[in-house]
A = this chain, B = another copy of it.
Amino acid sequence: MNLREDIQAMGRRAREAAAHLAGINTETKNRTLIQMADSLGASFASLRKENEKDLKLAREQGLSPAMIDRLTLTEAVLENMAGSLRAVAALPDPVGEVVRMWRRPNGLEVGKVRIPLGVIGIIYESRPNVTADAAGLCLKSGNAVILRGGSEATHSNRAICMILQDVLRVTGVPVDTVQIIPTTDRQAIHEMLCLEDSIDVIIPRGGEGLIRFVVENSRIPVIKHYKGVCHIFVDESADLTMAERICINAKVQRPGVCNAMETLLVHERVASEFLHKIATSLQERGVELRGCPKTLQILPHIKKAEPDDWDKEYLDLTLSVRVVKHIREAIDHIRAHGSMHTESIITSSYERAEQFLREVNSSCVLVNASTRFSDGYQLGLGAEIGISTTKLHAFGPMGLEELTTTKFVVRGNGQVRE
């Protein structure tokens, strides 16, 4: 069989499934999600066997222990996957929500009603649990999904997908609601990105390389973020104990994720006091600091920040540090070097808090809180399908609502236009 034709056929089946799915009620969707959770929980032995095939190849190819760890399906990981599906079942169904409704002078009743996007393509390279998570979120929001996971997890992803499809067969939801591209051939991604008639949006999840590849090759709209170069600005009026606690959390709690802090900006009036304090705390936790010239005057033993450090997403225990003259310089630095992801100000000044919230044009702007809260679950969306740092359609963490759009529904009684 021909790869292009196979992928095109998957697209048509997804489109067909989406058409039926839009008419399926919330109860059926929730029942399906819960049965998926049960089914995954009951399939540990068989999943482990498929996962072992991936792990064997990974070891042969000399993947890093961290990569192998992420690839491994333990009972705890499986429980987590099942738990996520149950959590999605418990969330309100966004489909059918009347966002707004009003009456026109001529008596027309106009409503904006939430509907599914249609077919979502998800291209990812991370853990196999994304397979179940993404399928669950798409199903709940009434969308069919075509998944394309990383080649290192092929056996695991396929096995998970088959379990989910078996449940669909039983609960009466179209089985093509969840499909996975079965080949590791990279050409398959190319073919997928050409299906503009079948796929409504592509969401890539993974490293910057994957995302750039998708953006450059897609004819379908892409929702994405390239990277998170997140900043914290410690204002002169900051409670420095709070600032220290938040900076440590933002840098150290999980340095490998996109909402971790990469650059610390400190007001010059508190720079000496705060930097001595924070440097010790961070270095004790293994963080390497790279400073601007003014920072180096205060902390002469740290490394000098090179010009490109200000644009780097380290995803590691490394932190750039810059002393700024005032909030204006901090905001300008963020505008020049930020990735429109997440920034936080630590301050006790009402005026500067509001200025920062107003003028920083990132998708998530915080006052006196860790950047690590920029996350669908933490912000209270109940779930997260990804984060967008482009402004179209969605900006910031995306939950179920961001997998929908609205249509106009108009009820009349014979109106014509004059």
Contacts and interface: CB of A to CB of B under 8 A. Distances in A.
Contact of A395 (B335, B361, B369, B405): B405
Interface string A163-201: 000000000000000000000000000000000000011
Interface string A224-250: 000000000000000100100110111
Contacts of A369: 108, 410-416
Contacts of A380: 102, 104, 110
The A contact surface, by secondary structure, is mixed
A76 interface: no
Contacts of A397: 408
A253 B102 CA distance: 25
Interface in A383-418: 390-397, 405-417
A295 interface: no
A370 B415 contact: yes
A362 interface: yes
Given A368-B413, A408-B364, A200 B373 contact: no
Given A369-B108, A373-B410, A392 B358 contact: no
A363 to B, nearest CB: 6
Interface size class of A (residues with CB under 8 A): 35 or more
A365 interface: yes
A245 B412 CA distance: 13
A115 interface: yes
A379 interface: yes
A22 interface: yes
A367 interface: yes
A368 B414 CA distance: 5
23 contacts: A22-B359, A22-B361, A23-B358, A23-B359, A115-B361, A115-B391, A117-B392, A239-B414, A242-B414, A249-B417, A353-B411, A363-B408, A365-B410, A368-B414, A369-B413, A370-B417, A372-B416, A373-B415, A379-B410, A392-B392, A395-B405, A395-B407, A396-B406
Closest 6 pairs between A and B when the two form their complex, measured CB to CB: A369-B412, A249-B416, A372-B417, A393-B393, A391-B405, A366-B410
